[in-house]
């Protein structure tokens, strides 16, 4: 889903918004108490404290080279 969105959007903020909207529609990822945050960019790092099942940080290589950070608060 993320790769498809990134290949169709030119601006990182638009891609992050569309990924966030898709997460909000997924029944398995919905949570009454917390919200998901999506950050899309190029070559960035983060220093955060997290629980292992509440964060996803990865790079997509190839035609669409982007770094994606998803985390739940």
The CATH number given to whatever domain includes residue 67 is 3.30.740.10
DSSP per-residue letters across 6-65: HHH-SSHHHHHHHHHHHHHH-GGG--SS--EEEEEESS--------GGGEEEEEE-SSS-
Paired strand residues for 71? 37, 55
Structural domains of the chain, count: 1
pTM above 0.85, yes or no: no
Domain with 33, as residue range(s), is 2-72
pLDDT digits (tens, 9 = 90+) for 20-73: 998 888 888 777 667 889 999 997 878 877 777 788 889 988 888 899 999 888
């Amino acid at each position: 889903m993320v790769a498809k969105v990134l290949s169709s959007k030119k601006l990182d903020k638009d891609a992050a918004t569309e990924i966030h909207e898709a997460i909000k529609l997924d029944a398995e990822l919905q949570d009454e108490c917390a919200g998901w945050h999506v950050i899309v960019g190029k070559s960035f790092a983060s220093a955060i404290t997290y629980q292992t099942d509440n964060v996803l940080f990865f790079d997509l290589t190839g035609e669409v080279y982007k770094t994606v950070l998803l985390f739940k608060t």
